Amino acid sequence: MSDASMERFHRLPKVLRRADPAVLTAFACILVLLAFGSLYSANFLSPEYLLQQLKVASFLGVIATGMMLVILLGHIDLSVPWVVTGGAMMACAVTAFGPVATVLAIPAGIVFGLAVGVVNGFGVAYLRIPSMIVTLATNAVAQGLMVVYTGGFSPRDTATGAMRYVATGALVSGVPNAVIVWALVGAGMVFLLTRMSFGRAVYAIGNRERAAYLSGVGTRRVVLIAFAVSGALSALGGVLLAGYASKAAQGMGDAYLLPAIAAVVLGGTSILGGKGSYLGTVAGVILITLLQSILSVMQMPEAGRQLIYGAVIIAMLLLYGRTPAER
């Protein structure tokens, strides 16, 4: 940075100076979207509508939290679609095994995601296969498992009361439970990333795994745990979704892969790893949810949504997601 720009930099208020420009851009885009939406519908800015948006955002938020952890390592988790679906299906399925199993529905869904995540992490960390490939393969395996499972016999696909309560109820009146779940998951992730040595190791590996390894970090263990956490959170997202829709369905996770990656990357986390903050991911999730909401308020057909969606993500990435020029 040149001296002149340094000087200008110091004149900014402290809060702005410390903030990541990408996160600020993301929040600015949120404001623009809100203003744009209010032109279409007067109740776009009403508290009820915004709270509803936050509730819808919380499903994506939980999934994107896991994705962020993996992206910070410089890896990617493409197994989200069928881990989300599988988590939801498994949670609904165990209700067939009596009342005790019904209580364990939510943990059962999460355990499914955890298991897929461990396979992902093992492949990436110990077998050194590129993460994109392993997670694509486990996604295919998870899909195969679910096809066999739903095709062989008629499964139970109704969500339990507990799942519905967690996704749609309100413990504190006015604040949906799903938002509380997202807040808890988010607080946990912030604590993990900023206050624990595990989080430091994640950033270190994302910057240069070789250096982290030479510094005595058990890099393989860290990568394995990160993928396991990502899988578990994807499945939790699926469980919440099943509670929200009160049933599990094939393909319910397909719509969450691209948004999860986009939310993380639009929030300023480098896709190469090692850089990014959870605040940015929150901004990215809200941004994506608002964009989807506006497109549906405008009654845009699916084709137009896909188009605008892809175009907006590319445009925003070109704005601030470019890798530095080499040489």
* CA distance linking residue 116 with residue 66, whole number of Å: 13
Query: 58 and 179 in contact (C-beta within 8 Å)?
Result: yes
Query: Which residues form the interface with another protein (CB under 8 A)?
Result: 76, 123, 127-130, 132-134, 136-145, 147-148, 151-152, 209-210, 213-214, 219, 251, 254, 257-258, 261-262, 265, 271-272, 301-311, 313-314, 317-318, 321-327
Residue 213: CB minimum distance to another protein, A: 7
What type of residue is 104?
L
What type of residue is 305?
R
Q: Cα separations (Å) of 151 from 144, 147, 148, 154, 242? A: 10, 6, 5, 7, 19
Instruction: Go through 213-225 and write b for each residue having 16 or more CB atoms within 10 A of its CB, e for each that does not.
Output: eeeebebbebbbb
Residue 197: CB minimum distance to another protein, A: 20
* CA distance linking residue 124 with residue 71, whole number of Å: 13
Q: Which is nearer to another protein, 160 or 219 (CB)?
A: 219
Q: Which is nearer to another protein, 7 or 302 (CB)?
A: 302
In sequence order, the β-bridge partners of residue 141 are none
Q: Cα separations (Å) of 187 from 12, 190, 193, 227? A: 29, 5, 10, 19
Residue 198: CB minimum distance to another protein, A: 19
* CA distance linking residue 178 with residue 62, whole number of Å: 9
3-state secondary structure of 268: coil
- In sign, the C-alpha dihedral spanning 25, 234, 56, 189 is negative
Residue 2: CB minimum distance to another protein, A: 22
Q: Which is nearer to another protein, 63 or 159 (CB)?
A: 63
Q: Which is nearer to another protein, 119 or 290 (CB)?
A: 119
Q: Cα separations (Å) of 65 from 68, 100, 159? A: 5, 30, 23
Residue 37: CB minimum distance to another protein, A: 21
What is the enclosing helix (H) or strand (E) of 205? helix 197-207
Residue 176: CB minimum distance to another protein, A: 29
Residue 219: CB minimum distance to another protein, A: 8
